[in-house]
């Protein structure tokens, strides 16, 4: 690179840049031509090649200042080439282009040592910006995240909005920066948090989630930091809090906007000092966790209204990730619908296909419940649909039914409040349930019986249909009926 400054024209903009030698590798002649012309107009010296063999031969003749390469090449994988080149030439910045627009591709590109990743189709102005950044800085160091599953299984979507989410995730998985995920209810904030954990160096340690909106305010500090024996009435033994449970891993603070002000102050001190004490304890414990928080509220507005601490907001908002609502990524709806039908089949529901008319109707819907609503609809269609293929008429009949969409890991506010109230009563009346490891079984037992009875009543005591709705097989349902002492012949009339 000769170091001369020049004005770059990119997408109608003029930016200051530096001239460099660029090597472009892509098996698509049209892409090679368009990219080369755009970069040459910006003043760069550009060479193009169409295969891994040609790329290696060109590198052997001399290193470019920046390499721009596709992933799928006729004689090899571009990411494998990036890995070897960044190992042999640590100062070579590489920009990866790919039509495989998944989170896994973005993360693997970063893992391989790529300076940047652009999903196809890409904007030439964005490529010009990436090239300029690559010329100004050395290549990013490779990140050891271990093998990744091809195609990705954590997040689904190929829309431009999701590609931006993938790019941010790929850049933060290797470090411990605090992440704040914002988005409407049902957009998949916990999935993003799990992706950051499972693709990062802390993946072998626990991922611990806590929903701030579901815990009585007087119990939040004990839940987060644990408590000592005798710290309060009913505290019969020492209990580790979520910070200790997540030691070495990731602590996901969901619905952080609902955290009481007094607990915000305690959390801020922990984030500042990296240490905490249990409720009723004196020993200082190091907080060895990565913090990922999430909210469906506008925390900036909450700060202005005095409902959220400004200093805590800045501590949490180091890396912001904004999840788009489903109505802003309609091209992902079909991909998600098929994925949810596959998941429904894996859980024991009938395997169903979906026709083009149904997909068109799904894509035109506004999805106020977002991805969660779509999953709920697909499970309902798989369970109740009579035909092997879901059509538009069935989708039209089911849209808006079923009440608030609920899926594993997320509950509606009324149910969450009821469980929280029940936990509060149990803490006073049956504190041993919090100490002897029986809490989960006790709560499930209280919920399972009325759930099964209600579904059987709705199905007219048809056990096969009830099993499909519950997502379990018929034999499992029969066993639960026996265990719970439910008489399947007794009919209940509702209303």
Residue 344: domain span: 327-398
Buried-state track 420-442, b at ≥16 Cβ within 10 A, e below 16: beebeebbeeebebbbeeeeeee
Based on the fold, state whether residues 314 and 194 are members of the same structural domain. yes
List the structure tokens of 436: 């002897």
Domain co-membership, 225 together with 133: no
Q: CATH number, domain at 463?
A: 1.10.10.60
Count of domains observed in the chain: 4
* pLDDT, tens digit (0-9, with 9 covering 90-100), for 236-290: 788 888 999 999 999 999 999 999 898 999 999 999 999 998 888 888 899 999 9
Mean pLDDT across 299-315 = 94
153 in any annotated domain: no
**What's CA 262's distance to the chain center, in Å?**
29
> For residue 35, is it within any domain?
yes
Same domain (yes/no): 362, 257: no
Same domain, yes or no: 302 and 255: yes
Do 201 and 108 fall into the same domain?
A: no
- Do 184 and 315 belong together in one domain? yes
- Split at pLDDT 50, 70, 90, the class of 400 is low
Q: Which of 398, 413, 443 is the last residue of a domain?
A: 398
* Residue 360: CATH number of its domain: 1.10.8.60
Q: CA-CA distance, 165 to 170, in Å (whole number)?
A: 9
Q: For residue 41, what is the domain's CATH number?
A: 3.40.50.2300
| Interatomic CA distance for residues 310 and 305, integer angstroms | 10
Entry pTM: 0.57
Q: What is the 3-state secondary structure (H, E, C) of 191-212?
A: HHHHHHHHCCCCCCCCEEEEEH
> Tens of pLDDT along 9-34?
334 333 345 678 899 999 988 899 89
Residue 417's pLDDT is 60
Q: Quote the mean pLDDT of the chain.
A: 81
The residue-averaged pLDDT of 204-215 equals 90
Per-residue pLDDT for 131 more than 70? Answer: yes
According to DSSP, the β-strands at 319-322 and 353-354 are: unpaired
Instruction: Give the pLDDT confidence of 82-119 residue by residue, as tens digits.
Output: 888 877 777 788 999 888 767 777 888 887 788 888 88
Is 216 within the bounds of a domain? yes
DSSP 272-318: HHSEE--BT--S-EE---EEEEEESS-HHHHHHTTSS-HHHHHHHTT
Indicate whether 293 and 274 sit together in one domain: yes
């Amino acid at each position: 690179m000769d170091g001369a400054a020049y004005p770059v024209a990119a997408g109608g903009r003029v930016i200051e840049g530096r001239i460099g030698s660029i090597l472009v590798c892509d098996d698509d002649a049209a892409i090679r031509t368009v990219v080369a012309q755009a970069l040459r107009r910006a003043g760069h010296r550009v060479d193009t090649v169409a295969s891994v063999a040609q790329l290696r031969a060109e590198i052997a003749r001399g290193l470019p200042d920046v390499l721009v390469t596709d992933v799928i090449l006729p004689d090899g994988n571009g990411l494998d080439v990036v890995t070897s080149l960044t190992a042999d030439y640590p100062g070579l910045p590489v920009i990866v282009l790919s039509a495989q627009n998944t989170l896994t591709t973005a993360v693997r590109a970063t893992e391989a040592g790529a300076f940047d990743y652009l999903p196809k189709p890409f904007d030439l102005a964005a490529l010009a910006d990436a090239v300029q950044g690559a010329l100004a800085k050395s290549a990013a160091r490779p990140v050891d995240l271990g093998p990744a599953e091809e195609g990705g299984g954590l997040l689904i979507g190929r829309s431009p909005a999701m590609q931006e989410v993938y790019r941010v995730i790929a850049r933060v998985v290797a470090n411990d920066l605090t992440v704040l995920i914002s988005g409407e209810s049902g957009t998949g904030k916990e999935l993003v948090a799990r992706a950051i954990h499972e693709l990062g160096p802390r993946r072998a340690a626990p991922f611990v989630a806590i929903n701030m909106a579901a815990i009585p305010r007087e119990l939040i500090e004990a839940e987060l930091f644990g408590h000592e024996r005798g710290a309060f009435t009913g505290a019969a033994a020492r209990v580790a809090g979520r910070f200790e449970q997540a030691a070495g891993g990731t602590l996901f603070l969901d619905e952080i906007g609902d955290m009481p002000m007094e607990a915000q102050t305690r959390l801020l001190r922990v984030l500042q000092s990296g240490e905490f004490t249990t409720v009723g304890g004196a020993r200082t414990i190091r907080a060895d966790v990565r913090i990922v928080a999430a909210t469906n509220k506008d925390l900036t507005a909450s700060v202005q209204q005095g409902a959220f601490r400004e200093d805590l907001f800045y501590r949490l908002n180091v890396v912001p990730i904004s999840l788009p609502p489903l109505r802003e990524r309609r091209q992902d709806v079909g991909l998600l619908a098929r994925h949810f039908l596959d998941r429904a089949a894996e859980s024991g529901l009938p395997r169903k296909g979906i026709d083009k008319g149904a997909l068109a109707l799904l894509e035109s819907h506004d999805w106020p419940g977002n991805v969660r609503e779509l999953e709920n609809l697909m499970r309902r269609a798989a369970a109740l649909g009579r035909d092997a293929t879901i059509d538009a008429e069935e989708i039209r009949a089911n849209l808006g039914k079923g009440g608030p969409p609920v899926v594993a890991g997320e509950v509606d506010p009324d149910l969450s409040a009821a469980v929280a109230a029940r936990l509060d009563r149990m803490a006073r009346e049956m504190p041993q349930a919090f100490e002897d490891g029986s809490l989960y079984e006790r709560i499930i037992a209280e919920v399972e019986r009325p759930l099964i009875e209600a579904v059987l009543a709705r199905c007219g005591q048809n056990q096969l249909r009830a099993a499909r709705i519950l997502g379990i097989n018929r034999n499992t349902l029969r066993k639960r009926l026996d265990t719970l002492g439910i008489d399947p012949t007794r009919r209940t009339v509702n209303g």
